[in-house]
Chain A
């Protein structure tokens, strides 16, 4: 795992000193609210419905036990005892006071963390595959390059006042667990003839105009990566629209100019940006990569695991849904679901954070990950330790066995916290999870991803949910549009609308009808919801939702 160099430590301390001064100048009036806004945003501080919100970066989703303990401390000391993990590998605190924020940032700095560029028109926290360094299927660990990009983008002098926010995600495997096609730049580590390089996608994004990213370059060698990415952002900084914030993202620039023109512009800009690099970044990359060396895996028997698997059905169900293959023999990747039925998706209490930190230290080579699906991962656990890990998780309400299933829902904060919301999303997620838990058919349904947003900004990724739910406001009444067939992986696609939306109390019955149609039509339990949808299209689901008079119902229905 990466630990801060002296440079990083000094940088963050200086940045915090500057922000403390900015807060004072805001309070004294030297800075107008207009001027203070981008400064607080580039330090992770939002103004929400009820209070400020501080968004702390967990770069590429990786953290250690001491860092998780510190997140727990922040939750207790300056929030209401919990934190909210987000779809971009950040944690949000919903109730800090402005005057306390500099102290919170200093507390984060003690463990090598910050909130820099988690908001604002900057290059945001760089995200990566949450199974990085552990997954059996990866070409290379994506975190060294994500860390290099973090350092390159941090306080980049040209790119602090961009047309709009800019998000980068990296995957090290063909199987995309980082949603790279829904990012402004998506990077995939690839290998050509023994050389590691990067496939670069551009122009993906969700929000009010969802787009799937397009390939900009099939293979960028290591020594060209930073100048190449710099060329992309440089081109967009001058070309991106500043007249209309809804048209400012690079996805619109790519859409308006065409990918070929953008590729040409980037190529000619690259000739200029490349000249400003002399190879120092390669040496830095090697230093960073050395810090991500795999931990010393142990060679031990796994009988304890096999015995518990046979004997304990609860443990068995949990391992069946929450474990993923590890690259090292005898090891597993274990996911801790933050989606207990009926709870807020992605929330963890300070006590739960400490339990997870402790498990990581005792059994997991002191590593934890946060997933974009708002769960936590113990990336390296030996199978023989799993029965005990499971027991401890169970005692703290953390052993929900539902990863990838219908109750493992992504939901944005929605009307409960967000000033932009047009509808609630958390309660809808809670109702769906509770209902399917009562029906006891989650396992039978299998993999099915529901994603919910409380407005068209799409923070809940609804466009790429197998079932997407978008909460809107229709003349003062919440109305939920449903989309089907979205996919956030390497086979990414945007969901299609079923038809007229549903009032809040009809969402759960609607989801039940969709699931019922899937169960009736699937060729067998091995055909997932998405596969069935792709085979049959919308018709059977429309019929199940609206009956024979499909489409004739009024929009207000």
Chain B
């Protein structure tokens, strides 16, 4: 089982269509930015974080948003609560973590970072 983290805290996964469908994409962290494509039917894109030290997913999320993707965007894997604000600011809507990680990093630690819209230098740079 896995847990979905949003600004509201922990919740079960409500994406029932799975990732083997036309409407969802499951991307590894080494996805070539040239191959980063989606179409009008894409409703969900999930980007893998094999390790929390692998920061490529943040740039992939940002590029997807810059390229006009408006659907649901999820970071999945080894993302720690300290990275929640980075994930949200890069364009992710939510983070999918394992039960094991959720036990070690309980909901309160994620909620501690739910104020990601505050104290953000980027918002000052970009108006």
Residue ranges of A at the interface with B (Cβ–Cβ < 8 Å): 7, 10-11, 14-15, 18, 21-22, 25, 30-31, 35, 38-39, 121, 151-152, 154-162, 226, 234, 237-238, 242, 269, 272-273, 275-281, 284
Contacts and interface: CB of A to CB of B under 8 A. Distances in A.
B19 interface: no
Given A161-B53, A238-B60, A151 B112 contact: no
16 contacts: A30-B104, A30-B105, A30-B109, A152-B121, A157-B58, A158-B58, A158-B62, A158-B90, A161-B58, A238-B59, A242-B56, A275-B66, A276-B126, A277-B126, A280-B125, A284-B125
Given A121-B53, A157-B58, 20 more contacts: A11-B119, A14-B118, A14-B119, A35-B52, A151-B121, A155-B120, A156-B121, A156-B122, A157-B85, A157-B88, A157-B89, A157-B90, A157-B122, A160-B83, A161-B83, A237-B56, A242-B54, A272-B63, A276-B126, A284-B124
Contact of A278 (B66, B86, B120, B126): B126
Interface residues of B, number: 36
A21 B105 CA distance: 13
B56 A238 contact: yes
A174 B67 CA distance: 39
Interface of B: 33, 52-56, 58-60, 62-63, 66-67, 80, 82-83, 85-90, 104-105, 109, 112-113, 118-122, 124-127
Given A14-B118, A273-B66, A275-B66, A162 B124 contact: no
Contact of B59 (A151, A237, A277): A237
Contacts of A152: 121-122, 125
Contacts of A273: 66
Given A162-B55, A272-B63, A281-B126, A10 B86 contact: no
B82 A18 contact: yes
A35 B80 contact: yes
Nearest to A8: B121
Nearest to A155: B121
Contacts of B86: 157-158, 160
A154 B122 CA distance: 9
A397 B80 CA distance: 49
Contacts, number: 101
B55 A161 contact: yes
Contact of B54 (A11, A157, A159, A161): A161
A277 B86 CA distance: 19
Contact of B119 (A10, A35, A162): A10
B11 to A, nearest CB: 21
Contact of B125 (A10, A15, A30, A281): A281
B53 A38 contact: yes
A151 B60 CA distance: 22
Contacts of A14: 118-119
Nearest to B82: A39
Nearest to A11: B119
A239 to B, nearest CB: 9
Contacts of B62: 157-158, 234
Contacts of B88: 157
A242 B59 CA distance: 15
Nearest to A273: B66
Nearest to A32: B104
Contacts of B121: 11, 151-152, 154-156
A380 to B, nearest CB: 30
From A25, A161, A281, name the one whose CB has the most chain B CB atoms within 10 angstroms.
A161
Given A238-B59, A275-B66, A151 B125 contact: yes
Nearest to B86: A157
Contacts of A280: 124-127
Nearest to B125: A281
Contacts of B33: 238, 269
Contact of A272 (B66, B118, B125): B66
B120 A25 contact: no
A273 B63 CA distance: 9
The 10 A-B residue pairs with the shortest CB-CB distance, nearest first, are: A161-B55, A280-B127, A157-B89, A157-B86, A158-B58, A11-B119, A272-B66, A237-B59, A157-B90, A14-B119
Contacts of B53: 38, 121, 161
A281 B63 CA distance: 20
Contacts of A22: 82
A397 B73 CA distance: 60
A432 B15 CA distance: 69
B67 A277 contact: no
B8 to A, nearest CB: 20
B123 to A, nearest CB: 9
Nearest to B57: A161
B100 to A, nearest CB: 12
